[in-house]
Structure 1
Amino acid sequence: MKSKIIILILSLLNFNNVKSQITYDKVLWDKECDCPVAFASINNSLEYVISNENGYFSMTTKDPNVEINMLGYYSKKINLDELKDESKVFLDPKVFVLDEVVIEQNQLFKEMLGSILKDYALEPHVEKFYLRAVLKKNNSIIKLIDLSGIIKKETLFNTKTKPMPENNYTIHIENMRKSGIINSNYDFTVINFEEFFKRHNSFYISPQNFNLKYNKNIDNTYTKISATQKNATSVGNTYGYFIVNNNTKNFEKASLNIDYIDDFTVISKDLKNRTKKFNVESTFKKNKNTDKFQINNCNINIEVEVLFKDEKDIFNLSFSYFAEPINNGEKIKNNVNHKIDIFDLNIKYNSEYWKNHEILPLTDEMQEFINKVNSTGKNSDFRTKTNIK
């Protein structure tokens, strides 16, 4: 009789253990701009997740107490159980105000550039990365791909003293899931790894061609250096910003935007296109082992306008990249072609890996798209090769 009681007690303990695992689906939201907060970290002693480009995150954990951190926002500690049915978690931005002190000849900007040579990873380094690419046509998803793997970068930036080599990246893809629908009228190459990684760290601007404005946040820990182009060019208008740590002079976040004014490029008799907007935004984090800054996450958005037989389509291509430093001694080999369209990559699908994946959670919109592809095989980019279930 005693053994049965013990077994019963153990069963109850196991049952309670399972029940204590709760999945929380929330969206991080900026109170001031009424917009999502992308790429924020949400963690407790057990789990670590990142909000996606729409501010959405999903965390399965026993501990509802989490801390939320994002550069430019006040840290927030909350109990997710206390939110009950509320879907949004509001974050308070650290407000930047105009700095009345005139910085002579852009001294802070010069110090920021000088810090690149000593504080950023200009030597070989290795990262575990996650990459999501989404292509939308007229606001509806038509292609989706998620990748995880390891990348070795010979250098983070291209500098005069340490120029970037021609083969700067070694990329090994470990896991992939993808889905897509063929455009019945036309299709075109989107972007490859080589192009993506050239753009994810391209932030150089010359103070000779840009006006710089300095704003400090309220607690005086960071300065936002905003850059606007002095004169319009034939390409378009370029502007951006750097978030600079006032103590170290390092930039921990950077953004570059281009609004193009190019005319259409003729592809064929009935088809022409033009790029309208490009935006890249990256945050940087120190590798504790090397004490050098590496890219922590990056978001790229590209808008393209296409005219087909005088009918207009707007395509939006977005990339979300997350990375963490790993042992530099780990040897990796390329297993993908850097020059082919990212959406054409083909790596075996591992259903167990993607089950309840927390770095790249699927939103309801994405899941609906996947269901659509799986139910319309004849119109699917990957037909029977579609492997997201």
Structure 2
Amino acid sequence: MKLQFFIICLFSTLLYSQNELSGIVVDISDNSPLEFVGIYNKSDHTMTNADGRFQFYSTSDSIIIYRPGYDKISTTFQKTNDTIYLNKSVLELNEVTVTNEKTLWQKVKDSIDSNYPLYPYKEKFLLRGVLRYNGEITRIQDLQGKLERRALLYTHEIEPDKKDFKVELTNMRKVGLVLDENDIYFIFASFYDLFMNLIPVNATGDAFDLIESTFENGSKINLSFQTKPEFANEKVTGHYIINAKNNAIEQFKIVFEFENNPFSENEDSRYRTISIDKEISLSKSRKNQKYYIESSKYHVVIEQTDENNSYTSYYDVSFILTTSDNEGDFDVKKNVSTSKDLFKINYPYDQSFWNTQNQLLLTEEMLDFIEKVQDPNNEFKVRSNIKN
């Protein structure tokens, strides 16, 4: 009886030893919510959504709060308020515009083998797609599963192939309108298209002006780039955050803005891309010191009209990818095509999983949309696997 009592008490202690924190992270300068802020420790990890909100559980009491370009906070559950303020890291501008960018970039290239997995590996992922039509949400999809990659980056020795990714889908929720008011179906990207788009690329060639600055006492380098003035129809801006010690890219952001982009024809409609925005954050694994994609976002704005220009509509689509358990020891049993429109994928809804999923919370706007379109009085055709 004493042994049984001891086991029950021990189990109760373990059961209630988990720490929990819910809150919001904002920029201290203007109180704007910050997306993609990592909330983590050695055992657990989560991140903020577009509202800046997060929910974090851990048996460890320590917390690190960090987003590239902001000062890192190291604290504990007990010392953390539900509103967290982050300071932007102060950039120390070098005396001259970069003239040795090839030397800096050569250091990055020379370190690729040691910094990134250029071999097959497995990881777990959460992918969120959100479509807006003229500013209003019309589609939400979350996909969770296992992924096997051929490599993280592509070099001259590694040419892309349609078989570079294998996906085992384990959970999915989706809800959204099938057609817009003009009876247009917006095609979602495929797994393959997204995974290929969500990797850093080289933006340091002769077409770009570059400026180098340092922060965190010189331990980080910010290399910003912008297309030269002669490239009038396509403005490209962005930056790399590079670890000065090992020359690893820790963040990559690039924005394409197109002026007077020609329309493409599709039956009775015409469309063109207005802008593309990519942001990728990479973090180093304690297990093998390699860098993996921690979070990334792909955001596209498309203008659409008809052959008579009788109306103008805008589609705003974004995809967010987070990964975990990189180089994990598990099987990936392919059960979904990586070339299929994501919104046409069918998979059963598991309410218990999504009720406890805290890796990327739904925003208030998303929750309102799901409730609205699930209303039986809704007049639009809805495609969903969520059961009330």
Measure, in 1, the Cα distance between the counterparts of 2:60 and 2:153: 40
Aligned residue for 1:131?
127
Residue 143 of structure 1: how far off its partner (Å): 0.3
Aligned residue for 1:379?
380
| Cα distance change of structure 1 residues 21 and 117 upon mapping to structure 2, 3 Å threshold | closer
Whether the 8 Å contact between 1:203 and 1:255 is mirrored in structure 2 is: no
Aligned residue for 2:87?
92
State which drifts further: 49-58 or 118-127: 49-58
Whether the 8 Å contact between 1:154 and 1:165 is mirrored in structure 2 is: no
TM-score (norm 1): 0.85
Matches within 5 A, 1:273-292: 273-292=271-290
The one of 52, 55, 61 aligned to 2:52: 55
Q: Equivalent residue of 1:135, what SS?
A: strand
State which drifts further: 68-77 or 118-127: 68-77
Measure, in 1, the Cα distance between the counterparts of 2:367 and 2:109: 43
Residue 283 of structure 1: how far off its partner (Å): 1.2
Matches within 5 A, 1:315-330: 315-327=315-327, 329-330=329-330
**1:70 aligns to 2:71 (yes or no):** no
TM-score (norm 2): 0.86
Aligned residue for 2:366?
366
Aligned residue for 1:39?
36
Residue 386 of structure 1: how far off its partner (Å): 3.7
Q: Give aligned-pair identity as a percent.
A: 22
Aligned residue for 2:355?
355
CA deviation string 1:154-199 (max 9, x = no partner): 1122211333344211111110011002324222212111111110
Measure, in 2, the Cα distance between the counterparts of 1:65 and 1:331: 32
Aligned residue for 1:3?
none
Q: Equivalent residue of 2:382, what SS?
A: coil
Measure, in 2, the Cα distance between the counterparts of 1:166 and 1:187: 25
- Equivalent AA in structure 2 for residue 155 of structure 1: A
Measure, in 1, the Cα distance between the counterparts of 2:117 and 2:80: 40
Measure, in 2, the Cα distance between the counterparts of 1:46 and 1:198: 29
Q: Equivalent residue of 1:349, what SS?
A: coil
Residue 224 of structure 1: how far off its partner (Å): 0.4
Q: Equivalent residue of 1:375, what SS?
A: coil
**1:159 aligns to 2:155 (yes or no):** yes
CA deviation string 1:210-265 (max 9, x = no partner): 11110111521111001111255476112221101111111111111111121222
Whether the 8 Å contact between 1:306 and 1:314 is mirrored in structure 2 is: yes
Residue 328 of structure 1: how far off its partner (Å): 5.2
Measure, in 2, the Cα distance between the counterparts of 1:109 and 1:83: 39
| Cα distance change of structure 1 residues 23 and 312 upon mapping to structure 2, 3 Å threshold | farther
Residue 346 of structure 1: how far off its partner (Å): 1.1
Whether the 8 Å contact between 1:146 and 1:360 is mirrored in structure 2 is: no
Aligned residue for 2:242?
244
Measure, in 2, the Cα distance between the counterparts of 1:250 and 1:123: 17
Whether the 8 Å contact between 1:189 and 1:341 is mirrored in structure 2 is: yes
Aligned residue for 1:172?
168
Q: Equivalent residue of 1:112, what SS?
A: helix
| Cα distance change of structure 1 residues 229 and 373 upon mapping to structure 2, 3 Å threshold | same
Aligned residue for 1:122?
118
Q: Equivalent residue of 1:352, what SS?
A: helix
| Cα distance change of structure 1 residues 34 and 276 upon mapping to structure 2, 3 Å threshold | farther
Residue 76 of structure 1: how far off its partner (Å): 2.0
Over the aligned positions, Cα root-mean-square deviation in angstroms equals 3.1
**Unmatched 5+ residue regions in structure 2?**
none
Q: Equivalent residue of 1:109, what SS?
A: helix
Whether the 8 Å contact between 1:279 and 1:301 is mirrored in structure 2 is: yes
More helix by share: 1
Aligned residue for 2:195?
197
| Cα distance change of structure 1 residues 63 and 152 upon mapping to structure 2, 3 Å threshold | closer
Aligned residue for 1:264?
263
| Cα distance change of structure 1 residues 118 and 77 upon mapping to structure 2, 3 Å threshold | closer
Measure, in 2, the Cα distance between the counterparts of 1:250 and 1:158: 15
| Cα distance change of structure 1 residues 152 and 143 upon mapping to structure 2, 3 Å threshold | same
Q: Equivalent residue of 1:131, what SS?
A: strand
**Unmatched 5+ residue regions in structure 1?**
1-5
Q: Equivalent residue of 1:36, what SS?
A: coil
- Count residues with an aligned counterpart: 375
Whether the 8 Å contact between 2:302 and 2:315 is mirrored in structure 1 is: yes
Residue 285 of structure 1: how far off its partner (Å): 1.9
Measure, in 2, the Cα distance between the counterparts of 1:365 and 1:36: 14
CA deviation string 1:314-352 (max 9, x = no partner): 221111111123445533232112222111111111111
Whether the 8 Å contact between 2:200 and 2:280 is mirrored in structure 1 is: no
Q: Equivalent residue of 1:273, what SS?
A: strand
